[in-house]
């Protein structure tokens, strides 16, 4: 009852905490129905991160939840919020195959703008394999930067 009340007032984080603390079965029919409703509402409001969390913790459709989590991750990456993006990727276990293309694009963009710290963060955090050519360019720019 408490979980349903929390979901009804869009306080899904408290509902998730209650589920974890009391080890309540998220497959209970009323809980699943309400969680799915909240999940759909959040998607329609483009609140992808919250929708992905609801999908994950209430164990809704795994494929759809992963797609929504990937959208939330993309939003964070494109906004430059790399730490939050990394947390989303790990929490939802987004596969590297789904992130590599976008990461390479963001890496190149930051390399062009001489945002070398961001480039390094992307490479290290995501274990991004970049071409030796791009790596040489990054290091040359780093040397030039330090010589100034």
Please write the tens of the pLDDT for every residue from 39-91.
998 899 999 998 999 899 888 999 999 999 999 999 999 999 999 999 999 99
pLDDT surpassing 80 at residue 1: no
pTM: 0.81
Residues 6+ apart with CB under 8 A from 127: 96
pLDDT at 101: 94
The H helix count followed by the E strand count for the chain is 9, 0
CA-closest candidate to residue 119, choices 128, 70, 28, 144: 128
Q: Mean pLDDT across the stretch 111-134?
A: 92
Please state, as a whole number, how many other Cβ atoms lie within 10 Å of the Cβ of residue 105: 12
As a whole number, the mean pLDDT across the chain is 88
């Amino acid at each position: 009852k408490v979980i349903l009340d929390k979901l009804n007032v869009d306080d899904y984080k408290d509902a998730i905490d209650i589920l974890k603390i009391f080890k309540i079965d998220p497959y209970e029919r009323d809980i699943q129905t309400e969680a799915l409703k909240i999940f759909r509402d959040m998607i329609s409001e483009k609140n992808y991160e919250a929708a992905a969390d609801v999908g994950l913790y209430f164990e809704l459709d795994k494929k759809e939840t992963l797609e929504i989590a990937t959208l939330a991750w993309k939003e964070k990456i494109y906004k430059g919020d790399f730490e939050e993006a990394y947390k989303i990727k790990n929490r939802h276990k987004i596969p590297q195959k789904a992130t590599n293309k976008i990461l390479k694009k963001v890496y190149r963009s930051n390399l062009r703008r001489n945002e070398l710290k961001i480039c390094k963060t992307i490479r290290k955090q995501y274990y991004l394999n970049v071409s030796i050519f791009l790596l040489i360019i990054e290091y040359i720019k780093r040397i030039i930067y330090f010589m100034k």
